Structure 1
Amino acid sequence: MYLYHFGINELPFTLTPNTSYFFGLPSHNEALQVLLTALKTGEGFIKVTGEVGTGKTLICRKLLNELPNHFEAAYIPNPMLSPDELRRAVASELGVELGENSDQQAFTQKIQQRLITIHQQQKSAVLIIDEAQALPTQSIEALRLMTNLETESRKLLQVVLFGQPELDEKLALDELRQLKQRITFSYTLKLMDADQVFQYVRHRMAVAGYRGNALFTQALCKLLYDASRGTPRIVNVLCHKSLMLAYGEGKTEVERRHVIGAIDDTEAADKPTSRPLPYLALAGALTLCVVAAAVAFWRWGVIA
């Protein structure tokens, strides 16, 4: 790929949530502070929502990494589970064994005993669910019933929900009003502004090992901002494609036409209202770059 060409150690704009690339955008830092404060005060339900690509999973993993030692965490990344499947997933994460024919009553008894044990060890149990908008309605109700387990002074199980705005729509349903009333802390992630896009891109390049002059100038980052509306995931896609186009031409700097070519090639990006025809043709060149890279990887034995 373009690593050697630009003098970097790894791809800086992958879509995998990698906490080593955590930039600490104001919105992300505020969300983490809300989460840690709410967990330390023993709140039952905490909710973080944000549009697709705003960094919810990255914050989720950052939270898991930064939880104080006295927290016992259970993490469910894919919650599209039936009530029984959800109960079994929570039990597994907390180290509770359930028999094949265990019913809800058996689960309640075993999970309560496990939570009491955690509490007696001066620890707190927290269940963290990513993509919570995918939880079926019946499973959300099962989740609420789990949090009924409590001592006289605090909940035995705290729950953090990360989800897209559709989660708020689901929680607005009349049959889920009891759970909605239990959400005491919530935070909505914000998108980046143009200057934050510039700082974000520069940060990721630096973490990847780049030490030269900025490949993406502030003017180019303004283009990235306009096309992405400040969504980190789309910025990553556009930067990666821009670097590929520059590399394909043997350029050591990213130019405006490379960014516009990347924008034209990305369905999720807002397209410029007008641009010269050569920019449109550049988007096709991106496909050739991808094919050439795939052929090179195959020849080197990277692709089986």
Structure 2
Amino acid sequence: MYLQHFGLTETPFSLTPNTGFFFGLAPHVEALQVLQTALQTGEGFIKVTGEVGTGKTLICRKLMNELPERFHCAYLPNPYLTPEELRWAVALELGLKHSNKIDQQQLTSLIQQQLLALSAHGHSIILVLDEAQALPDESLEALRLFTNLETESRKLLQVVLFAQPELDERLAQNKFRQLRQRITFSYCLRALSHDESAAYIQHRLSVAGSANGRLFSEANAKRIAKAARGIPRLINVLSHKALLVSFGEGAQKVEKHHIGAAIDDTSDAYKQQYKPFWLVIMVLVAAMSVSAFYWYKGSLT
């Protein structure tokens, strides 16, 4: 690997969401602020959406790491579950030990009793679901019914959904109007700007121990930003590949052609489209013909 060659202590562009690399860029900080405000005010449903690779899982982990002690967090990273499986998973996350022989009504009652017990001890309970767009329709309805569990003064369970935009498309359907109306706070993660992307690259290199302040020049970092369309995961993929190509050549920093090779090797990267040479010639000929026509017409008057 290239770590020793570039003086790094760890891989700077791993695809694993690592909160140690969290960088306080505007969209991520804003999302966290929305989440923290909603949780502190006791809202029932909170939703964060974003395209693949925009940092939802990283924000999810950052949120859970920074929750005050009074919060008890139940986390479901893969919610492709039937309503029955969803209830069992929630029960397990709440620390319930139970027999598989009990029916769903009894299980729901046990969950409510556990929520009441935790609440009585001063805990606020949060159910966090990553990749929530994978929830089947019936499970979305079961999730809504969970938020019916409440005392006279507050909800017993708060639900945080992290999802791709497909969830918004589904929630727009009339059959989900009750659930949609319960989502009081939501945030949509945007892509990073070119300047934010360049700062993001330099930050990750710095955290990874880079003593070379400019393994990527600002211009080259912005080339990656453009090809990645500001998507952090794609920025990581392209930056990692560019470092590999640079290392393979024995270079001390990443050059433009290293980035070009990384872009060519990445199917999801935006590739600059150039018009064929013959098309450029045709446009020039057409422009010259129009100019000649008006010159000739003018000479006759």
TM over 0.5: yes
Tell me the equivalent position of 1:208: 208
The superposition leaves residues 252-281 of structure 1 with CA deviations (integer Å, 9 ceiling, x where unpaired) of: 110000001100100010012249xxxxxx
- Superposition pairs for residues 240-251 of structure 1, below 5 Å? 240-251=240-251
| Structure 2 counterparts to residues 128-139 of structure 1, below 5 A | 128-139=128-139
Q: Using the alignment, how far apart are the partners of 2:267 and 2:140 within structure 1? A: 33
Residue 50 (structure 1) aligned with residue 63 (structure 2): no
Classify the secondary structure of the residue corresponding to 2:162: strand
Q: Secondary structure at the match of 1:186?
A: strand
Per the TM alignment, residue 101 of structure 1 is displaced from its structure 2 partner at its CA by 2.3
Structure 1 equivalent of residue 97 of structure 2: 97
Q: Which runs of 5+ in 2 are unaligned?
A: 276-301
For the aligned residue pairs, the C-alpha RMSD in angstroms reads 1.0
Tell me the equivalent position of 1:279: none
Q: Give the length in aligned residue pairs.
A: 275
In the alignment, residue 44 of structure 2 is paired with which amino acid? G
Partner of 1:191: 191
Q: Does 1:271 align with 2:271?
A: yes
Q: Distance in 1 between matches of 2:98 and 2:85?
A: 11
- The aligned residue for residue 127 of structure 1 is 127
Q: What CA distance in whole angstroms lies between the structure 1 residues aligned with 2:91 and 2:79? A: 14
Counterpart contact for 1:49–1:188, Cα < 8 Å: yes
TM-score (norm 1): 0.89
Which amino acid in 2 is paired with 1:244?
A: L
Which residue in the other structure is 1:117 paired with?
Answer: 117
2-side partners of 1:213 and 1:41: how far apart? 43
Aligned position for 2:292: none
Q: Distance in 1 between matches of 2:25 and 2:103?
A: 44
**Percent identity for Structure 1 against Structure 2:** 60
Q: How does 1:124-163 map to 2 (within 5 A)?
A: 124-163=124-163
What is the match of residue 11 of structure 1? 11
How far, CA to CA, are the matches of 2:221 and 2:36 in structure 1?
Answer: 32
TM superposition shift of 1:25: 1.1
Matches within 5 A, 1:216-235: 216-235=216-235
SS at match of 2:204: helix
Within 5 Å, give how 1:261-300 maps onto structure 2.
Answer: 261-274=261-274
Distance 2:179 2:97 in 1: 27
Equivalent position amino acid for 1:156 in 2: L
Amino acid at match of 1:190: R
The amino acid across from 2:116 in the alignment is: I
Q: Is the 8 A contact 2:87 2:108 kept in 1?
A: no
SS of aligned partner of 1:73: strand
Find the aligned partners of 1:21 and 1:260 in 2 and give their Cα distance.
26
Superposition pairs for residues 33-72 of structure 1, below 5 Å?
33-72=33-72
Q: Which shifted more, 95-104 or 188-197?
A: 95-104
Residues in 1 aligned to 2:67 and 2:211: alpha-carbon distance in whole angstroms: 33
Structure with max Cα Rg: 2
- Quote the Cα distance in structure 1 between the aligned partners of 2:120 and 2:244: 55
Instruction: State the 1:225 CA deviation.
Output: 1.5
Q: Does the 8 Å contact 1:80/1:136 carry over to 2?
A: yes
What are the superposed Cα offsets for residues 178-236 of structure 1, whole Å, 9 maximum, x if unpaired? Answer: 11110000000011001111110000001111011311111111211111110000000
Q: Whole-Å Cα distance in 1 between the matches of residues 98 and 89 of structure 2?
A: 10
SS in 1 for 2:36: helix
Q: 1:123 deviation in Å?
A: 1.1
* TM-score, scaled relative to structure 2: 0.90
Cα distance in 1 for partners of 2:158, 2:33 equals: 16
Structure 2 equivalent of residue 174 of structure 1: 174
CA distance in 2, matches of 1:128, 1:31: 15
Q: Which runs of 4+ in 1 moved over 4 A?
A: none
Amino acid at match of 1:87: R
User: 8 Å contact 1:50–1:188 — kept in the other structure?
Assistant: yes
Kept in 2: contact 1:88–1:98 (CA 8 A):
no
Q: What's the secondary structure of 2:159's corresponding residue?
A: strand
